[in-house]
Each structure stands twice: as structure tokens, then as C-alpha cells.
Amino acid sequence: MTTLTAEPDYTAIKTRQQATWASGDYALVGTTLQLVGERLCDAIDIRAHERVLDVAAGNGNATLAAARHYADVTSTDYVSALLQRGQERARAERLDVTFKEADAENLPFADGTFDVALSTFGVMFTPNQEKAASEMSRVVRRGGRIGLANWTPAGFIGQIFKTIGKHVPPPAGVMSPALWGTEGRLNELFPNHEINITRRIFHFRYTSSRHWLDIFKAYYGPTHKAFAALDTEKQAALEADLIDVLERMNRGGAGTLIVPSEYLEVVIVRS
């Protein structure tokens, strides 16, 4: 007897995710990650006048980095408030960027439109991973490049999401975003492509574990929503577990917080 497993309701999951990323104010956290966008654009060897798409761009770290290299950049996200923050940053730097609301799993562009597609800690959170990877490949010309920055399961952010998942279970049937931070999963998502992977470290720098927690509870959508879903007692338990992760991984010593977080810097050549 064969048991059929129902496909997850991706539309409903995506609607909840959209509300999650629109909550808080991710841009206040996102701007601290600007270094990752700069590194990725350097690794992927951005050229002036190349057509570049930033997918799930958030508040535009990779967008701005590519635009500073005089590329022709289109910045997309399905959260309009985040695109507005990217627009504010682009205007402040007098950078010419096109901003467009778009779903990473259904990009509104023709095949082969772009020379480069980028995503820094963005596309990895799509519920339908195969569809998102396929869309990024589709809109890039043959011989073009796809650049990704993905948190690893064993790294700090991977551990944070694992900890949150113990208190607020993720949607049933949806694969972990952290799998994008593994070589095996990337080979599955981008078959027959040339994939080059470099392990990188980003350091989260805050005044203390409590400072990090306060910022992420208030502004980082997934953490903000996780706490909102719990009663007072369960919030305290989640808080204690997160503080434990922070204290264990802090290399800054007393009086400050410096936590190394591993991610994969990925450069894929479109076949």
C-alpha cells in the first residue's frame, strides 16, 4: 500500500512568511550585514553595465554593493516595506537602481534577462526551494553567474533557528532554510552547474547577549514572531535558551558580544 504525502500549502506558508518579514524592522538588522553583500559582489566579479538581479533583496545590501560597481541593478523582494528601505539607501548614495516587488518563486522576468543574480540570506528562506532555485537559474543567461550567501546549519544563525524551532515548530513539510548552507543541497538545487563554495565568517557585534536579544526580539521578523506566539512562561524559556547559545558562542569576553557566524559564499556558473 502506497501512502501519498500531501504537498505543503506553499501559498499559505508564504503568506505567513511575508507577514513575518514585514514585522519588526528587518532593515535595522540587515544594514549590519552590508559586508556580506560587498564580499559577494567581489567574489562574483561584478562588471560595470552588467544586468544584475537581487532576489529577496531585503533592504538592499547586495543591491547597493552591485550598484556601486556601476552595474545595472534590479532589486526585488515580496515585502514592499523592505524595498522602500532599500530605495531610501539608494537615494542617499545617489545610486541608480530599479526596485520591483516580486516573489522569488515566480520572478516576473523573461528567460536569460540578467547576467548575474544575487541573494544574501534571502532566497534561502523561500518555502519551495526547488522553485526558487529554478527561477534564479531561469532568469540568468547561459554562462552568467548566481551569487549566494547562505547561513550554515552548524553556524550561529543555524543554531539560533534550531533553538527557535524547539519552541515554535516550523511549518510541516517545509525543508529547513539552513540546507541552502550545505554543499549537498546546493548540488541538488543547481544540478549540472559549476558551483564554487567558500566558507566565510560574519561576526555579530553587540554590547552584550541581552543587547542582541533585545534587538532581534524587536526588529528581526522570525524572532519577533516567535516570541509573539508564546505565552509569558514559554517566552522566558526561549529567551533562556537563546542567551545560552549567545554566551557559548561569544568570543568577546566580558563586557561585549562578538559571535562568529559561518555562512557559505556561493558562486554558480549557469550552464
Place of cell 501519498: 4
What domains are there in the chain, each with its CATH number? 10-158+168-203+261-269 (3.40.50.150)
The CA distance from 47 to 42, in Å, is: 10
End-to-end CA distance of the chain: 40
**Mean predicted confidence (pLDDT) in 263-269:** 98
> pLDDT for 6-38, tens place per residue?
678 888 988 888 899 999 899 999 999 999 999
Longest CA–CA span in the chain (Å) reads: 63
pLDDT of residue 5: 53
> pLDDT for 181-235, tens place per residue?
999 999 999 999 999 999 999 999 999 999 999 999 999 999 999 999 999 999 9
Going from the C-alpha of 24 to that of each of 105, 107, 208, the distances in angstroms are: 24, 26, 20
CB 237 within 8 A of CB 245: no
CB 153 within 8 A of CB 181: yes
Q: What is the 3-state secondary structure (H, E, C) of 49-107?
A: CCEEEECCCCCCHHHHHHHCCCCEEEEEECCHHHHHHHHHHHHHHCCCEEEEECECCEC
**Amino acid letter for position 237:** A
> pLDDT for 38-95, tens place per residue?
999 999 999 999 999 999 999 999 999 999 999 999 999 999 999 999 999 999 999 9
Q: Residue 51 CB: number of other CB atoms within 10 A?
A: 19
The CA distance from 35 to 62, in Å, is: 9
